[in-house]
Structure 1
Amino acid sequence: MLSLLKPTGIIIMAAGASSRLGRAKQLEIVKGKMLLQHILDEVNKLENVSAVLILGANGETIKNNVDAAGIPYLIHQAWKEGMSSSMQAGLRYLLSNEPNLNQVILLVCDQPFVNADLLTQLIEQKAASEKGIICCAYADTIGVPVLFDQQYFDALLALKSKEGAKKLIFQNMGDVFTVAFPKGEIDIDTEADLEGLS
């Protein structure tokens, strides 16, 4: 187990319908393991975190096919409103159970190279840099996984449903530290994406 310095919330967003793939990508096998199971297993390697899994489309089917190993889950009925809506449901849940939470990491379920070491690096760089937003850098952009300090919780909860957390990153670039994650550009949206990882 990896010991972390401060209590951290983790929101695993897996509510989408995978419309481009045509089936639940959360359950697709990549390198011998389901995509969502991989993320759950990596989160479970961390200590001193409070995680929640946000499901939506195909929620019960997905839940019945993965082992969350103690990570609670929510089936977010308003998942069609967009990723921010799912994130907000997760953040509200975490704050209701951990009112003193001081930072949160946002994860998606379809980045097969996210691992516990990367998540630990985000937390450690938060402490070392004293910045409020720690995000990953790949393919000439920045994005998830991303860690937000508690000072951004209200802004995260105020995002409109179609707005993404990236809006807050770009609005606060002076408070951003980036962690190189070249393989972060690899995610699963289409059949071709899966074929490239077989």
Structure 2
Amino acid sequence: MTAPVCAVVLAAGGSRRLGRPKQLLPYAGTTLLGATLDTVRNQGFDQIIVTLGAFADGIVEQVDLRGVTVVRNDVHRSGCSSSIRRAVGVLDPAADGAVLLLGDQPGISRTAVRALLAAAPGTRLGAVRYRDGLGHPFWLGRSIFPDIEQLHGDKGVWKLIDAAGPALVTVDIDEDTPLDVDTEEDYRRLVERSAEVRLR
């Protein structure tokens, strides 16, 4: 049997730099998180886990979460490492690992996900190398889960990436890193880029 293919979408943050819930920003006829989940649903994952923390009640009311396993993280202020730990705890036990995505990054392409899934399963850690550097999605193999238990803060997984050396599996994608939203300027750029794509 083929192992299930699973995704973890991080969406528990408190939008400190933005000052309002970025998960609920209007985007592409839905919300920013809704658009990201639509993108992830179209990738054919067997299990999709989304972590919620700040603004969780509003997100549950306003975002379509059908077909998604929702994990609430009550200690989200400690950083996204805590959300990853919560998510892997409910991962399908038959899965080799999970693809890690950001809830504020709706532009992740099928090409990037498929390339990562073709190369990384069976390994500890993988990432996409875009034209402008490494970025999400990441592959977290089950063998690295004990290390994830020791992570803290928002950049914990990046510390694993930086320390992996030649053990890090990377796939090259001829695209720029998809925009993610941390500030109002990021949001404006994302909306403008989306409008440019629609006009092409």
Q: For the aligned residues, what is the CA RMSD?
A: 2.1
Q: What secondary structure is seen at the aligned counterpart in 1 of 2:104?
A: coil
CA displacement 1:150-174 (0-9 Å, x = unmatched): 2111111221345511111122121
Amino acid at match of 1:194: Y
Q: Which residue of 1 is the match for residue 189 of structure 2? A: 196
Following superposition of structure 1 onto structure 2, how do residues 15-164 of structure 1 map, counting pairs within 5 Å?
15-47=12-44, 49-94=46-91, 98-126=92-120, 131-138=123-130, 140-161=132-153, 163-164=155-156
CA shift for structure 1 position 6: 3.7
* Partners of 2:111 and 2:60 in 1: CA distance: 25
Q: Which moved more, 1:146-155 or 1:78-87?
A: 146-155
* Partners of 2:85 and 2:174 in 1: CA distance: 25
* Partners of 2:16 and 2:99 in 1: CA distance: 25
Please report the TM-score for the alignment, with normalisation by the length of structure 1: 0.84
* Partners of 2:45 and 2:127 in 1: CA distance: 20
2:126 and 2:168 in contact (8 A); partners too = yes
Q: What secondary structure is seen at the aligned counterpart in 2 of 1:145?
A: strand
Distance 1:117 1:49, change over 3 A: farther
**Which runs of 5 or more structure 1 residues have no equivalent in the other structure?**
none
Q: Which moved more, 1:115-124 or 1:56-65?
A: 115-124
Distance 1:181 1:68, change over 3 A: farther
Q: Which moved more, 1:151-160 or 1:85-94?
A: 151-160
**Which runs of 5 or more structure 2 residues have no equivalent in the other structure?**
192-200
Q: What secondary structure is seen at the aligned counterpart in 1 of 2:152?
A: coil
CA displacement 1:7-44 (0-9 Å, x = unmatched): 22211110001111111111112343322112211222
Distance 1:189 1:107, change over 3 A: same
1:106 and 1:147 in contact (8 A); partners too = yes
Aligned positions, number: 189
